[in-house]
Amino acid sequence: MRRRYPLWLGGTTVVCLLLFVLADRLWALPDPQRVRSVLILAQDRTPLRAFADNEGVWRYPVTLDEVSPLYVQALLEYEDRWFYWHPGINPFALVRAGWQWLRGGQIISGGSTLTMQVARILDPHDRSMAGKLRQMFRALQLEWHYSKSEILTFYLNLAPFGGPIEGVQTASFAWLHKSAVDLSHAEAALLAVLPQAPSRLRPDRHPELAQRYRDKVLRRMVIQGIWSQAVVDDAMNEPVMHSRFQQPMIAPLFAERMKSQAFAANVARLQTTLDANAQWAVDNVLRTRVGGLPPKASIGVLVMENTTGYVRAYAGSADFYNAERFGHVDMVQAVRSPGSTLKPFLYGMALEDGLIHSASLLSDVPVKLHDYAPQNFVRHFSGAVSVTEALQQSLNVPAVDVLQRLNPSTFVARLRNGGIVVSFPEQAAPNLSVILGGAGTTLEDLVRGFTAFARKGISIKPRFLSDEPIVERRMLSAGAAWIIQDILRGIPAPEGSVNVTGVAWKTGTSYGFRDAWAVGVNDAYTVGVWTGRPDGTPLPGSFGAIAAGPILFDVFRALPKQRDVNTRRRPLEVTQTDICWPLGESAASTAPEHCHVRQQAWVLDGHIPPTLPHLRQYSWSAGLQTYWVNPLTGLRVTAACSAPQRVARQVAQWPLELHPWLSNALLSTINLPKFDASCPLGSEYQEGTQLSIRYLDDSTCLYLPKVGEAQRTKSVTLDLHAEGGIGQYFWLINGELIGKVVGQQGLRYTFERAGDYDLTVFDAAGGVDKVAIRVMTP
């Protein structure tokens, strides 16, 4: 016989349900997932930095699978063993709590389920009958709208653990210094009981009391047969340590930068690409190096993974807490003068355009180009240098010369297209100084650009989140990038640093020693280092190779090793061949007598450009010079001479500006012979005797006068004279042009300092003579 229920019972149920639905609409449940605090995580979910909400609450959000099962077991057994079966309210627990209250005259237990505890966190109330009814209503709402797993997750993230700490993950890091997924039995029991009396049981204030309550939970787990007696005995031997709450502060400036993205995405936690191990390694390097910095100086370091573009380490300053060092200023994003760090891109573009190869002859000599007179950092000049030497030694004059041919505006445009944003003052245009630091860029952009040397000429934008799109730009051809990387690998490690094999690197120093840079790339990583004062105050003597270079190699040495990464496979378009100076062409196509210096060069697509025509204040450039001689005398003749016959000869000439740096033996091979006696008398040809400096030789020594009472400075003046040669005389001291005269006129020059001076004169026909003199103090 079917059991019948009274009609009024069904009607009452429907009415109650309708009233609940109406109440649910009128008094909506507060959103349990509202974002109040933000946590920035490393790739392995290590907390980097947390940002409290407006009320100062710290919460590290977690999911259920990111918490140890031991904690879930202890929590449910101690707080609500019927959690998965009741509808949010456990009537038996409420009856028990009421009976205890009536019998004892005070509240012994609240009878609250986990759902009710979440309800009270979301909608606080007083401990009264009305408050309890309100809590029960909110609990029913939770069960109506969310699953049990979701409600349990709310508890894991919202439960109070003392002071401003909410959530089991926050408590685990605060009191145990570990993630909640790694909890032991004793630690799980401790965190399960703390929310019962979070202020009274705080381990940093009352570790003994906290341990007693923890042991109570452990004994309960044995009684219920969930954990064995042996496991619990071991757990009880673990003391509750007095632990001080300290927020994680790993890569704080990076985390602050990521906070805005978390707020924009309305997420409570943001998992970034930062590698916690790599970040710790970089931080250890900075802790070691910061003591050796000048006062108020800082450091910026950025580490990128070449294959993915992931940012693996980010140090915006040397010490975030040091106000004197401007620790709050992020120097990874600061716009600063890049010094010479752009030179590899300049030579790479010139290679790509067919202007040079790796051993092209360049001139490192004093020069003025369009009223711009670049100087080398070391304040002296090397004369004839190859592209490889010019880049490895970071010589300024050759770089300015190559930039002039490439065009500054073109160079800057190609940099920007490749990912390096170069900025200038308002209404200023790119000029020749850009290659020496006469512009602005960031460490972030420089590192992005240098990734091209490990990625076949394609740069990759830094990626801070794994789901960010990959943004790649063509900076150089694969062949040009490989050649430049090979050249940069030949730069030795800084003095005193442990060499790290396979690092191609470049330094830079801005004008006035305001910025010191070192950027390097190997198969796995690209690393950039900046050091200086964030306020732009000069630090004399602090230049890239000394200040930033050692830090760069320390970082490379400390980074986690990566396997099976190799970007050193030489592209097919890159070949090696011998070339000859001064013509710059291949040795195979150069006559032996014209091959004065033999070099080995990397070339692109088999193209071997000749030595560039030199755009200087002189008229003579490298190339084959044809002249005629009288075969009977071997002396030079022209059509105006009456020699019975002429024979053509050729000589490979060096750029005239390099003559002061050539050896006397080499000069003797390229000087043209004197004119034959058959040439017309009284003509310029009869004046063409051997060019020589008069009255001075290598033994000449001049003395500066003593400074008397009427003489405030001391100097010595010398009249310079030469004879022979043809046309104008060009006079140089230490390779720098000091004047030119016509015919036999002299040139007066004043020496104001003691030292050794190389005195050179050459004429319009390429004749040259030089002597070395010394100026001394009395």
Active site positions, annotated: 79, 340
Alpha carbon distance 723, 429 (integer Å) = 47
Both tokens of 461, joined, read 């934008």
* Cα 445 from Cα 461, distance rounded (Å): 8
Tokens 């710290």 -> residue: 58
Residues 455 and 341: their CA atoms lie apart, in Å, by 18
CA–CA–CA angle 204, 205, 208 (5° rounding): 95
Residue 185: both structure tokens together? 């039995």
- 223 burial level (CB within 10 Å; 0-12, 13-18, 19+): exposed
Interacting residues of 327 by C-beta distance below 8 A, sequence separation 6+: 298, 317, 318, 319, 320, 321
Amino acid at 502: G
Euclidean distance between CA atoms 307 and 132, whole angstroms:
58
User: How many other β-carbons are positioned within 10 Å of the β-carbon of residue 506?
Assistant: 30
Chain CA centroid to CA 346, Å: 19
Place of tokens 């291949």: 586
Give the span between the Cα atoms of 105 and 382, in whole angstroms. 98
**CA 209, 213, 216, 217 torsion: positive or negative?**
negative
Distance of CA 486 to the CA centre of its chain: 20
List C-alpha distances in Å: 554 to 8, 273, 283, 494, 722. 82, 22, 11, 11, 56
Query: What angle (nearest 5°) sits at the alpha carbon of residue 54, between those of residues 48 and 57?
Result: 55
**Among candidate residues 77, 81, 80, 46, the one with its CA nearest the CA of residue 180:** 46
Spell out the SS3 assignment of 690-709.
CCEECCCCCCCEEECCCCCC
Cite the beta strand spans of 175-230 per DSSP E.
none
CA dihedral 660, 661, 662, 667 (to 10 degrees): 10
Q: Which CA distances in Å does 133 have to 8, 103, 130, 159, 452?
A: 25, 21, 5, 21, 66
Reduced to 3 states (helix: H, G, I; strand: E, B; else coil), residue 519 is: strand
- Residue 116 vs residues 24, 121, 250, 678: alpha-carbon distances, Å: 16, 9, 37, 120
| Phi, psi for residue 763 in degrees, rounded to 5 | -115, -175
Burial letters 253-286, b for 16+ CB under 10 A, else e? bbbbbbbebbeeeeebbbbbbbbbbbbbbbbebb
Instruction: Concatenate the DSSP letters of all residues of 268-302 into one string.
Output: SEEE-S--HHHHHHHHHHHHHHGGGSPTT-EEEEE
- Which residue is it, tokens 């730009």? 473
Which residue carries 């909400």 as its tokens? 53
CA pair distance 724, 693, nearest whole angstrom: 9
The encoded tokens of residue 727 equal 């046309």
Closest CA to 36 of 170, 182, 152: 170
Judge whether 603 and 572 are in contact, CB under 8 Å.
no
Dist. CA 190–CA 218, nearest whole Å = 9
Type and span of the H or E element at 393: none
Residue 655, preceding peptide bond in cis (omega within 30° of 0): no
Helix (H) or strand (E) holding 511: none
